[in-house]
Chain A
Amino acid sequence: MIRLHNIERSYPLGRGQMFYVLRDIDLDIAAGDFVSVMGPSGAGKSTLLHILGMHDHGWTGEYFFDETAVHHLKSKERATLRNEQVGFVFQQYHLLDDLTVYENLDIPLSYRHYSKSERAALVADSLDRFQIVGKKDLYPRQLSGGQQQLVGVARAIIASPKLLLADEPTGNLHSSQGEEIMELFRRLNEEGMTIVQVTHSEKNASYGKRIIQLRDGWIV
């Protein structure tokens, strides 16, 4: 499904120097795979995920998504591809402060071809599944960090993306809740969703089919 070849991501350091966050990344991810990305802080995990999610385009190299050459796409075409294929859990949750839980969950649906009633049904399902029905009218700042993370996860999968990119989806959760999320991911994966998650926990990583170790921008 995904083929990265010689991906490099760098930031200028000043005085002509470059700081390489990712170096010479070659990576194949087949459809239906469940990959865990691990590595120390600052290794470039989030950077890699944002590249996969087509948020970032300041990289060099080749990125094929199915047969599409992402490195040749214009930002508008990338947006379309992202819209059709990708769900994303942000490390910092990134819920919209001015919207309620319900409205936050509705965002991805509003940008895809769903009817009003389908949207309502999907949001209701999701609230149910994550046991946050009681919170649906609250604003993010009225939730705990863990609750916000749950909403972030729910929002990422609500539109049933083919590819789920999750940046430490359980970082702030109680271990039993974390397990539930991991079980959910496993189920989604079995149903055919391709998943790439970043995690610091060996236990979570074990839910995946394989582990990629990143260190200082290199896959090791």
Chain B
Amino acid sequence: MLAKTPGFAIIAVLTLALGIGANSAIFSVIDAVLLRPLPFPKPNELIAVWSKVQGDTERETGSFPDYADIRDQSQTVESLFAFTRAATVLGSGSEARELLGIAVTSDIFRVLSIPPLLGRTFTQDEEKTDARVIVLTYETWQRHFNRDPNIIGREILCSLRAYTVIGVMPPGYRYPIGPRCEYFMPLQQLVPDSVKNRSSHFLRFVGRLKPSANVKQASAEISAVSGRMEQQFPDSNTGRTYYAFSLHHDLVGDVRPALLTIVSAVFLVLLIACANVANLLLARANQRRREIAIRAALGAGRLRIVTQLFTEGLILAFLGACTGLLLAWWGIDLLRVFGPRDVPRLDEIQINGLVIVFTLIAAVISTLLFAVFPALQVSRPNVNESLQEGSRGAVGRESHRARALLVIAQVALSMLLLAGAGLLIKSFGNLRATNPGFEPSRVLTIDLALPRAKYADLPLKQHEFFERLDDRLRTLPGIEAAGGVTPLPFSGNDRASSFWIAGRPDPGPGNHPNASHLTVMGDYFRAMHIPLLAGRGFDSRDGREGVPVAMVNEAFVKKFFDGRNALGRYIIVDHAEKTKDRPLEIVGVVGNTRHESLAIEPIPEFYIPFAQDPDRRMYLVLRTSSEKLVGLENSARVAIQDIDRDIYVPHLEPLEKLIGITLAQPRFNMMLLGAFAAVALTLAAIGIYGVIAYTVTQRTKEFGIRMALGAQRRDMLQMILRQSFSVVAIGLGIGLLAALALARLMTSLLYGVSAHDFSIYALVLFVLSIAALIASYLPARRAMNVDPMVALRYE
């Protein structure tokens, strides 16, 4: 039957392929990101431990002493490790390569419970000694050491220090489960001072529960431990509570709302595709009604006819599913390329058995969805009527109603998708138009970290290096202004310090407020085009021996000085060994900048001059005079290595690119939903077109009669458009109500636009109406041109 009408079959299969393929592709993402268990034994026992501070955000990092207390006191947690991301430079000179890894306590190997492939892992005792050891991932061993079989015991140079390789982990082993984790180093060796400081909250904790415990118990117990710490160490721990939740949830919690939105969207696309195929089948079933009626008269049971319809449907769906898998396979490649990096495990997406099973289930469900209409219709034909009346009569009206229902459904579903896409597009537009508080174009940055081996804990030396570098940088050709900052906005790093305002009654260190703490060097504000609003900028007065000073941003003045004058006031930054806990005089106020992402409002910030707060790491910020400065990277490298040839110089990164990375997730959501909405709109338009075109051919005789009775061309056109729109309008109405109800679920994905934004809904209604109008007009034109004579003879 299908072979006899290849055109019909091809259109049906392609439509289904589009719907099923999109679902398979998205399901493969869900599978990799949400469903697949973490790649460690007994993954359900793994937990993440975070802290939260009163009045502050959740999921704060913690300090090493807190970590040690929780680890030692908890009864429900079998083991717990603390880590921080780290980077090191492997080798030296022109051979140098940057590796990203983690500095971690030895417990990681117990928590994750996977033995090394080669050698051994480090021990708790080893952490406390000076014996520098490193464990490599399999991939690092492969890429950088050519799978050297004698790697164990070999000494390698990491940031100018000799480390002994003691182990290589099996393939795929890494933590965090992001794209890059290339080695494991003992934490305490790397930052011996920070680990002693209970106020230094720079660590993330991950643990494994005892088999008898559950996450809830563990969280309660950990909170209890942190309560005791609060009593014991009020200076550092007041208001800070630790808590736990499942590691899997921790990893995917952030992307879940976006993924669920996308899943709903892609499912709607499948529904619309099914509605289209149902329409095609209905039209065909109608043409075959006489055949079916004759068969029924000849004794074919109803069941047999319905079975035949479903079998045909299944064949279509199966072909659609196969083609769809092919589409999904391409789609996944696109997802891997365009997907945002911060979606965990995106690189693990693949078409596996589960995805294929899902696809087949989707095909079966589709069949049920699209074959049920024609099956219902033919399963209770009045045999007599069909035989007598040929192609018209009550059954014709009934199938007309079924087709109208399908159009209503398609329009409503498209309305939902378009509204969702519209909201995301407007959000994204708002996000991009958001002023970060500085001018990112033509600003290049270098993330420069001085090697620990030569510069750690040597503030004088750090200062001297950057001082000289600053002088060199500003003289490079094509540089309008040069400076440095740490941490750089949009670099993914931030730093907060608690402080107090001199002269106010002190509530005790634990109750001090936090503000973003930035260290700046050279012409940072001028290079970034951050405006100076009051007072002065840092200059030569603010050297190492000068009066300690600070600048603050507008948000800081607003929050801590009620927007009144802050110049001449003093802040005392807690635990600021470098400034020797001396009060800093506020000498200037600058404009607000956004730091973590464009979506996050500026927060209070204070800036300290580099000379008074030296650091081993600085982001160099270079404002160039033209878009593309040839040779700048090289001249910057020469400038840096002239001062110290042991310093590894990473590539220049345009600031705009860094901002772009923070836009990747919303852009991805927008693109995906936009694509689905476009597909939905197209399918719905095709659906409307199909129904109207079919109706027009079915009603040719009626049109001829009407014309003979005085109807003119515009009467015919009006009639068809009116009938089409009476159906479309119902779909629009239902879709509008559903969209208004469901858009609220998207709120967390929206920025600067209400879920009920009037202009979006108006625009979407307009777009859909225009699409429906075009889709109806094209076939309606044929009705206008019906030759009454031909139509009257038409039978």
Contact = CB atoms under 8 A, between A and B. Distances in A.
14 contacts: A55-B788, A55-B792, A79-B711, A80-B712, A83-B711, A88-B709, A90-B705, A90-B708, A94-B792, A98-B397, A107-B710, A111-B709, A111-B711, A111-B715
Contact of B789 (A50, A79, A88, A111): A50
Interface of B: 389, 392-393, 397, 701-702, 704-713, 715, 787-789, 792
B789 A107 contact: no
B355 to A, nearest CB: 48
Given A97-B393, A111-B710, A57 B789 contact: yes
Nearest to A79: B712
Interface string A28-57: 000000000000000000000010010111
A95 to B, nearest CB: 8
Interface in A88-141: 88, 90, 94, 96-98, 107-108, 111-112, 141
A215 interface: no
A76 B792 contact: no
A155 interface: yes
Given A97-B392, A141-B393, A55 B708 contact: yes
Contacts of A141: 389, 393
A83 B712 contact: yes
Interface in A126-174: 141, 155, 159
A107 B702 CA distance: 11
A17 B401 CA distance: 46
Nearest to B707: A79
B705 A159 contact: no
Contacts of B393: 97, 141
Interface in A65-82: 75-76, 79-80, 82
A12 interface: no
A58 interface: yes
Contacts of A58: 789
A108 B712 contact: no
A62 to B, nearest CB: 19
B789 A55 contact: yes
Given A76-B713, A79-B712, A111-B712, A56 B706 contact: no
Given A55-B789, A75-B787, A108-B710, 19 more contacts: A50-B789, A50-B792, A55-B792, A56-B789, A76-B712, A79-B707, A79-B711, A79-B713, A82-B710, A83-B710, A83-B712, A90-B705, A97-B392, A98-B702, A107-B706, A107-B709, A111-B711, A111-B715, A141-B393
B204 to A, nearest CB: 71
B709 A155 contact: yes
Contact of B705 (A79, A86, A94): A94
B173 to A, nearest CB: 71
A98 B394 CA distance: 9
A56 B233 CA distance: 101
A75 B785 CA distance: 9
Nearest to B713: A76
Contacts, number: 62
A108 B709 contact: yes
Contacts of B705: 90, 94, 96
Given A57-B789, A97-B392, A98-B397, A88 B711 contact: no
B708 A53 contact: yes
Contacts of B715: 111
Nearest to A165: B708
Contacts of A79: 707, 711-713
Contacts of A98: 397, 702
B708 A88 contact: yes
Contacts of A57: 787, 789
Contacts of A56: 788-789
Contact of A112 (B702, B710, B787): B710
Tell which of B393, B701, B704, B788 has the most Cβ of chain A within 10 Å.
B788
B397 to A, nearest CB: 7
Contacts of A159: 710
Which 6 residue pairs are nearest across A and B when measured between Cβ atoms?
A111-B710, A83-B710, A56-B789, A55-B788, A79-B712, A94-B705
Contacts of B789: 50, 55-58
Most buried by A among B702, B707, B710: B710
A180 B392 CA distance: 33
Contacts of B704: 55
A72 B340 CA distance: 67
A108 B715 CA distance: 12
Contacts of B709: 88, 107-108, 111, 155
Interface string A159-197: 100000000000000000000000000000000000000
A97 B705 CA distance: 11
A64 to B, nearest CB: 20
A53 B705 CA distance: 12
Contacts of A97: 392-393
Contacts of B706: 96, 107, 111
Contacts of B397: 98
Among B392, B702, B713, B789, residue most surrounded by chain A Cβ atoms (within 10 Å):
B789
A203 to B, nearest CB: 28
A108 B710 CA distance: 6
A108 B713 CA distance: 14
A148 to B, nearest CB: 13
A141 B382 CA distance: 15
Contacts of A96: 702, 705-706
Contacts of B702: 96, 98
A111 B711 CA distance: 5
Nearest to B392: A97
A141 B389 CA distance: 10
A79 B788 CA distance: 10
B177 to A, nearest CB: 63
Contacts of B788: 55-56
A13 to B, nearest CB: 17
A153 to B, nearest CB: 13
B268 to A, nearest CB: 33
A57 B706 CA distance: 17
A189 B787 CA distance: 30
B689 to A, nearest CB: 22
Nearest to A156: B709
A217 to B, nearest CB: 17
A96 B414 CA distance: 35
A90 B708 CA distance: 10
A115 B430 CA distance: 53
Contacts of B708: 53, 55, 82, 88, 90, 94
B789 to A, nearest CB: 4
A97 B707 CA distance: 16
A209 to B, nearest CB: 26
Nearest to B719: A110
A76 B788 CA distance: 12
Contacts of B392: 97
A83 B706 CA distance: 11
A90 B792 contact: yes
A82 B788 CA distance: 12
B489 to A, nearest CB: 67
Nearest to B711: A111
Contacts of B710: 82-83, 86, 107-108, 111-112, 159
Nearest to A99: B702
Nearest to A85: B710
Contacts of A80: 712
Nearest to A76: B713
A83 B707 CA distance: 9
A89 to B, nearest CB: 11
B31 to A, nearest CB: 50
A42 B706 CA distance: 25
Nearest to B701: A94
